[in-house]
Structure 1
Amino acid sequence: MKITLDVSKLVEEGKLTPAEAERLKALAAEETGHLGLNILTGFGVIAASAGAVAILLTAFQFSAGSAAIIGGAVFLLGFLLLAMRGEVVSLLAQTLIVIGALTGGGGLLILDNGSLRAALFVTMVFGAAAIIARSSLMAALSVVSLAGCLGARTGYVHAMYSLSIQEPTLTIVIFSALALVLYLISLRVRADYERIALTAARMAIVLVNFGFWIGSLWGDRLRLWRYLTMNDVMGGPSFTAKGAVIPDYVFSIGWAIALIGVGVWGVRAGRRWVVNVAAVFGGIHFYTQWFAILGANALSVLLAGVILIAIAMALRAFNRKGAA
């Protein structure tokens, strides 16, 4: 569990000695250095895996099945290297496991045309890779892959990014439960696995907020329910645009209540990340509903800014009172 301390202020108040403060600063600097290296390694591994799949499929004219097999072989090699001792060998093994899982998973998804069974298998492989390699990156990607099983997508067109959540209600229910289970697991495992469980839980929380966000704008037509229960004369799914089964205001109200509840719990439990993510998505929710109702004009922007400043001051006073 990570906590935030103002070391300088604690020294001034006599709650820490200068020697203790210097020791804490040294430990924090080491942890920050590890965080930076992990982030750099994560981006490098993702880029290397994507490039490997692209090269295998284009330059060498390999099939998607070949890419999946090669990725599986690299994954197995990394797994075998874990048995060897040494920090360098361990780092190499973890990197190979992650690259193998990403490359093999990408090849399998292309081979099976992004089917649900392939997505579920890739999710399980990513989860296993996260545990074996103790990789927070793979833990987060396994949760993202699970979201893809429900139709979640992202896209990019020139100068525009897009997010698609096909099943807002299911996304909220499934990933809320997943986040809770992962959090409870994190309380009962060692530090390395606690980090992995918390990373996956945090990714699940982000997806829950995405589900609320999309639902608050368009509601939920429960496409999966329609797909399972209704078919047209051609045998395909019968989707209509006659209105949402669950209206948008249900998501708007539920999201606000959830953000407030989770934010208060985060403050009391000392979970800084939870408080931050509740504040960020609270701001997104506020601005989304505000401008959706009033539109974007000078007066609405001014009023939105004033209200947010007032809320921030109230939260600051609340935090000071809690600290006292």
Structure 2
Amino acid sequence: MTIIHPSAAQIEEAAALLDAGELVAFPTETVYGLGGDAENADAIARIYAAKGRPANHPVIVHLAPEADPGYWVRALPVDAQKLIDAFWPGPLTLILKRADHIPAAVSGGQDSVGVRCPSHPVAQALLSAFHRRRLGTGKQGGVAGPSANRFGHVSPTTAQHVREEFGSAVHVVDGGAADVGIESTILDLSRGFPALLRPGHVSPQQIADVIGIAPRLPDGTDATAPRASGTLKAHYAPRTPLALLPFSSIEPLIAAFDRSSGKKVALVARASSAKDWADAAHVHFVAAPEDPQSYARDLYGLLRALDRANVERILIEKLPESVEWIAVNDRLGRAAAFEESE
């Protein structure tokens, strides 16, 4: 990852905009966030309006390393503190009971709130600058920051991706490309037991190693789970139709592809036999990364590039159904479900 370091003046400018209730897109190690003052209901409303996000879909509060997470919640359980000590700063969001003085708008009206401390140095600089502005006011200066893209579509991992979404309407702090590439792991601790709501870079096994119990995994049957960012069935989707299939089912589709439009079909696959299609005139072939971390880092940039490639359809080979691939499978499954829901 190549980090771009904005100047101190640029960081202070962005912090001043947040303090004034404006929106600022900023880099994290996962994806770029669309930030607003988490204690300003008007700023939160601007986030929802800019994204076209349903008002009942919560956003995550990003905290400076020196901030007190206990300010945002009714209580900080022992397991939460253990996970904070182990994974913060980093790509882990904790869902806890929201403190009464925190606006319900940040939680989509729920009594819980998602908090995390990102590890990206530019995010930390911005969050710390905003936090300092609130010293002595009785407030902490957290930044509500869902991904900086239109709701339901591909998350941004570079500043340019954000500009493609919002143009000059949003102030962007450029910190280079995101290193993790997919959104944070979301772990719910608001109901007395750990439950994984969204898989990410921090794995269920890593969580279990810290708190001594494996979190419940998402299986679609947890009816009491709080709503959380990025957990709708259809999400993270490119504008080009996308299908996620075993390679044995993809090959007949490629062979039968209607070429009358003059466009190509995109093929993203790890299978060695997929390379047989690399030279086909009607196929835009992308050799998918072999390991989960590289696949995650490249995923959103790849989907955005394929949207620009003027292809008729994106066909992606299904990945192994193992815990190592749970986060990438989650994002691809939701992207494919978006097309199915249209």
Per the TM superposition, whether the score is higher than 0.5 is: no
Larger radius of gyration: 1
TM-score by length of 1: 0.25
Structure with the bigger percentage of strand: 2
RCO comparison, higher one (Cα < 8 Å, 6+) = 2
Structure with the bigger percentage of helix: 1
TM-score by length of 2: 0.24
